[in-house]
A and B are shown apart, each in its own frame.
Chain A
Amino acid sequence: MAEPKTKYDRQLRIWGEQGQAALEKASICLLNCGPTGSETLKNLVLGGIGSITVIDGSKVEVGDLGNNFMVDDSSVAKSKAKCVCAFLQELNDAVKAKFIEENPEALIETNPSFFSQFTLVVATQLMEDSMVKLDRICREANVMLIFARSYGLTGFVRISVKEHTVIESKPDHFLDDLRLNNPWPELKGFADTIDLNVTDPVVHKHTPYVVILVKMAEEWAKSHGGSLPSTREEKKEFKELIKAWMIAMDEDNYKEAIEASFKVFASRGISSSLQQLINDNCAEVDSSSSDFWVMVVALKEFIANEGCGEAPLEGSIPDMTSSTELYVNLQKIYQAKAEADCLAIEQRVRNILKKIGRDPDSISKTSIKTFCKNARKLTVCRYRLIEDEFNSPIQPELQKYLTDEDYSVAVGFYILLRAVDRFAANYNSFPGKFDGEMDEDISRLKTTAVGLLSDLGCNGSTLTEDLINEMCRYGAAELHAIAAFIGGVASQEVIKLITRQFVPMSGTFIFNGVDHKSQLLSL
């Protein structure tokens, strides 16, 4: 076996050892191992997922050889689950791989408690009826669930989890936490020790922009009754003031200060999304609350008390032109404040735990530290039950999609993906499955889709003939490239859910393989 650190190096750089450990602990159940399911698992097995259980009751047909890489000529007439599982095991011997030769639909009907042993279930190519049942089972058992389906040049991915909380959401672009317009005493004291009037040009050009901006903001506030630049004119004037301090053209630190001056103009206090989060119903904790919500309550108290309206300081600063000494000292000041804030939160966490009757040390210091560092980026995702979405989709959204040109194809596919299941329930096969019945199927599918739209409260809405025709042309084909795309998306979402890092997708992802104008629908 290869040194896992080397083998997983390129992904450890993304989700770190904690993320990797979470993956290695996870057990995944796959329903149906056609190309969509097989490709989903392939990506997870390569990344070192803990264990997989492949469930499929079918035998490999010649047609499967044309769309599924996990089966080959020697697999024909053998159990598909067995063949796929054997190939997946070959990819990574660190993964525990097993299979069950059983029809997933039957398993859902007869053995609902089976699913509670898994961390997450990936359900592929299921019909609507089974999706609804499985969804209820997994919700009840607190098992994460992802649906994935490929159908011709379209398909979907949908997460179903009651609540998914993310501490390390790792957004690409996020305003750094520098408190330039609201410095705490130590930062202000540090800025006070530095004189911008210094004549030595080397020292002058190595004063970090954080210090420049803290001093300039303070000076501005003094002469403007305590307020900061807010109008466009004032902001321009503020930048001119910074510029006036430059004594040479090549002073990168002043250029950086001008570029970063918007950080002075940013509003103090917490963002509206964080405000919403601390006001969430779940922020009333009891002994059954998750660690996340216990820490959110501590955060809420902190903001109202010692935080003076601010979240705990993040503690890191971006690179900036500076002498090494000033930069390192500045870094220490930010770190010290972050540590003090974290300590305050920790105390609150311990008290809350005691109050709700839990062991005060049941949340580790490391967890609290990570929480504090990411306090401004906390994210909560909630997903409707599939049944609710199917029976009563959010009307304003649905209406919007049906009339918005950017969404019309995607929502058309959404309706048709549901309509083909109704069609199959009525006529025992998918539309366009057989060459000779195309014309009849087109008109039947149209009728089915119109009926569905009317059931969803969208009387009068229609789908284009082109799209209905296209859906019949697909004849329920599971094309490899589409399956690989859908499976890729599903596996990426699985990774985000299991590592509890990054933000998983919301709503239903509708893949549009015609022109790639895919959409997320929040229904």
Chain B
Amino acid sequence: MADSTAQLSRSRDLDKLLLRSGHLVGPNFEPGPELRDDLQQYARVLVVGAGGLGCELLKDLALSGFRNLEVIDMDRIEVSNLNRQFLFRLEDVGKPKAEVAAKRVMERVSGVNIVPHFCRIEDKELEFYNDFSIIVLGLDSIEARSYINAVACGFLEYDSDDNPREETIKPMVDGGTEGFKGHAKVIMPGVTPCFECTIWLFPPQVKFPLCTLAETPRNAAHCIEYAHLIKWDEVHSGKTFDPDNPEHMQWVYSEAVKRAELFGIPGVTYSLTQGVVKNIIPAIASTNAIISAACALETLKIVSGCSKTLSNCLTYNGAEGLHTKVTEFVKDKDCLVCGPGVLIELDTSVTLQKFIDLLEEHPKVFLSRASVTHRGKNLYMQAPPVLEEMTRSNLNLPLFDLMDKIPKDIIHVTGTTSKSDKKMSCLRKLRVVFKGIDGVTDMDTAGGV
């Protein structure tokens, strides 16, 4: 390549990394213009979340050689986003984040195409997620991370020796921040720990015992939670509290003030009330920028092999001096999410209905209202009603028949499960083996997905 054209190219700087060979690179690195072109044409990246991290990620990825991006987020823009979510302006308040973010990046970086999805992550078909080369997570909720993690791990297949099949690995890069701190994590399902393997890293949320709130409040937060969790229901029977309704928030605040005065407790403010009730996590632009940049860099490295990849978790703490640390966590080999799947042995006569009932009591699954999918085919869907009606007749058929009489195979079930009193959507991978079938063939010969 002539030097003069290099200076004229948009990928002037990136080309150094993608077109030149190196010694500190990934095992599959094949430098050359084809790599750059493949990245532009074939790599498809999904960004989950268009908030503080998501905005940065879209920008970083668009300027790291990717041209096919999609972003999913169910939220609309609020004023309190503007101190860090740099793709949004005051006049955008109220608009869907995903749509505005996609539009802004496309306006500035020509050649990049970003498809926005203004919906919940659960609203998408599972296959939607399978379409991407890699999924990057910029989320602030543990539940949402768990869901995407389960979806991505759901695509993973194991061979007969229980080794992950490489072509089914859906890599993820997960970022998270709080104040001056953050983390970036690379997840290769089946190879490195999935989100669920290391979920213990997230400290449990502080919850006050109800008796403290009701009988022995000691600080401002106790007074606020009393107003929010106890007094509200006493006074507004049946009406649910809406944290986004300023009148509701104002009511909780004034009740908290009254209670604090009664007990001689200082410190109740409107800002603290919002913070406690909405569990607001402080967030600043710089930390989001740092973590997103690390995530985008790892995404580029995973897809292109142009350098070593992070193995496997980076933590950043800028609150006391500056500390960065790389920790290599190990996979939980019994993980229900990224492991080979919960083994369920069944008689060939078990009907789909009976199977669904069984999942509710299964000690490792505990899944109610399950929808069941086999190799992309919906065997039974709880919703929407149209699908439910279409698949209802399957309930009385033996699962073995519905699975085309394959003696051993993977099926996916989605439903609800309760975790520490909280209901959440959940996806599980199950290995179903039918008893009494001779010559159980292994999954490879039974045909790929």
Q: Beta-carbon contacts of B308-321 to A below 8 Å, as 1s and 0s?
A: 10110010001111
- Cβ of B1 and Cβ of A491 under 8 Å apart? no
| A224 interface residue per 8 A CB criterion | no
| A233 interface residue per 8 A CB criterion | no
Name 8 interchain pairs, CB-CB below 8 A, sorted by A: A63-B6, A63-B13, A65-B110, A171-B320, A481-B64, A484-B289, A488-B290, A503-B319
- Cβ of A434 and Cβ of B3 under 8 Å apart? yes
| B292 interface residue per 8 A CB criterion | yes
Q: Using known A-B contacts A73-B110, A172-B319, A323-B216, determine if residue A10 contacts B293 with beta carbons closer than 8 Å.
A: no
Interface residues of B (CB under 8 A from A): 1, 3, 6-14, 16-17, 20-24, 56, 59-60, 63-64, 79-80, 82-84, 86, 89-90, 93, 107-110, 179-180, 184, 216-219, 263-265, 271, 274-275, 280-290, 292-294, 296-297, 300, 307-308, 310-311, 314, 318-322, 324, 326
How far does the Cβ of A174 sit from chain B's closest Cβ, in whole Å?
10
Chain A residues lying within 8 Å of B23, measured Cβ to Cβ, are 465-466, 469-470
Q: Using known A-B contacts A14-B282, A169-B320, A479-B17, determine if residue A66 contacts B63 with beta carbons closer than 8 Å.
A: yes
Stretch at the interface among A101-109, A262-270, A514-522: A514-522
A1, A65, A172, A487, most chain B CB atoms within 10 A: A65
- How far apart are the CA atoms of A322 and B212 in the complex, in Å? 9
Q: A42-B285, A477-B13 are in contact. List 5 more A-B contacts (CB 8 A).
A: A2-B90, A10-B282, A436-B3, A474-B16, A481-B300
Q: Using known A-B contacts A91-B86, A484-B292, A488-B289, determine if residue A324 contacts B24 with beta carbons closer than 8 Å.
A: no
- Cβ of B286 and Cβ of A495 under 8 Å apart? yes
- How far apart are the CA atoms of A32 and B20 in the complex, in Å? 27
- Cβ of B60 and Cβ of A480 under 8 Å apart? yes
Chain A residues lying within 8 Å of B83, measured Cβ to Cβ, are 7-11, 46-48
Q: Beta-carbon contacts of A479-523 to B below 8 Å, as 1s and 0s?
A: 111101101110111011000001111100100011111101000
- Sort A-B residue pairs by CB-CB distance and give the 8 closest, nearest first: A63-B12, A488-B289, A488-B290, A505-B322, A484-B293, A480-B63, A485-B293, A477-B13
Residue of B nearest to A517 (CB): B326
- Cβ of A46 and Cβ of B63 under 8 Å apart? no
A72, A434, A518, most chain B CB atoms within 10 A: A518
- Cβ of A482 and Cβ of B90 under 8 Å apart? no
Interface residues of A (CB under 8 A from B): 1-3, 6-14, 35, 39, 42-44, 46-48, 61-63, 65-69, 72-73, 90-92, 152-153, 169-172, 206, 319-324, 327-328, 432, 434-436, 438, 465-467, 469-470, 473-475, 477-482, 484-485, 487-489, 491-493, 495-496, 502-506, 509, 513-518, 520
Partner of B293 from A66, A92, A482 at Cβ < 8 Å: A482
Chain B residues lying within 8 Å of A48, measured Cβ to Cβ, are 83
Q: Using known A-B contacts A13-B282, A434-B3, determine if residue A492 contacts B180 with beta carbons closer than 8 Å.
A: yes
Chain B residues lying within 8 Å of A495, measured Cβ to Cβ, are 284, 286
- How far apart are the CA atoms of A248 and B315 in the complex, in Å? 42
- How far apart are the CA atoms of A323 and B110 in the complex, in Å? 64
Partner of B287 from A7, A473, A488, A514 at Cβ < 8 Å: A488
How far does the Cβ of A132 sit from chain B's closest Cβ, in whole Å?
23
- Cβ of B13 and Cβ of A520 under 8 Å apart? no
Chain B residues lying within 8 Å of A514, measured Cβ to Cβ, are 24, 307-308
- Cβ of A485 and Cβ of B297 under 8 Å apart? yes
- How far apart are the CA atoms of A465 and B326 in the complex, in Å? 24
Chain B residues lying within 8 Å of A92, measured Cβ to Cβ, are 82
- Cβ of B286 and Cβ of A43 under 8 Å apart? yes
Chain B residues lying within 8 Å of A492, measured Cβ to Cβ, are 180, 284, 286-287, 290, 318
- Cβ of A90 and Cβ of B89 under 8 Å apart? yes
Chain B residues lying within 8 Å of A436, measured Cβ to Cβ, are 3
Chain A residues lying within 8 Å of B320, measured Cβ to Cβ, are 169, 171-172, 502-503
Chain A residues lying within 8 Å of B3, measured Cβ to Cβ, are 434-436
- How far apart are the CA atoms of A1 and B287 in the complex, in Å? 25
Residue of A nearest to B52 (CB): A10
- How far apart are the CA atoms of A474 and B12 in the complex, in Å? 11
Residue of A nearest to B217 (CB): A324
- How far apart are the CA atoms of A10 and B286 in the complex, in Å? 13
Residue of A nearest to B219 (CB): A319
Chain A residues lying within 8 Å of B264, measured Cβ to Cβ, are 324, 328
- How far apart are the CA atoms of A8 and B89 in the complex, in Å? 14
Chain A residues lying within 8 Å of B288, measured Cβ to Cβ, are 488
- Cβ of A69 and Cβ of B24 under 8 Å apart? no
- How far apart are the CA atoms of A487 and B311 in the complex, in Å? 23
How far does the Cβ of B21 sit from chain A's closest Cβ, in whole Å?
8
Chain A residues lying within 8 Å of B16, measured Cβ to Cβ, are 152, 432, 473-475, 477
- Cβ of B275 and Cβ of A513 under 8 Å apart? no
- Cβ of B283 and Cβ of A478 under 8 Å apart? no
Q: Using known A-B contacts A6-B80, A42-B86, A492-B180, determine if residue A69 contacts B108 with beta carbons closer than 8 Å.
A: yes
How far does the Cβ of A58 sit from chain B's closest Cβ, in whole Å?
13
Chain A residues lying within 8 Å of B180, measured Cβ to Cβ, are 14, 492, 502
- Cβ of A473 and Cβ of B22 under 8 Å apart? yes
- Cβ of A7 and Cβ of B82 under 8 Å apart? yes
- Cβ of B22 and Cβ of A491 under 8 Å apart? no
Chain A residues lying within 8 Å of B265, measured Cβ to Cβ, are 324, 328
- Cβ of A516 and Cβ of B287 under 8 Å apart? no
Residue of B nearest to A150 (CB): B13
- How far apart are the CA atoms of A44 and B286 in the complex, in Å? 8
- Cβ of B84 and Cβ of A46 under 8 Å apart? yes
How far does the Cβ of A324 sit from chain B's closest Cβ, in whole Å?
5
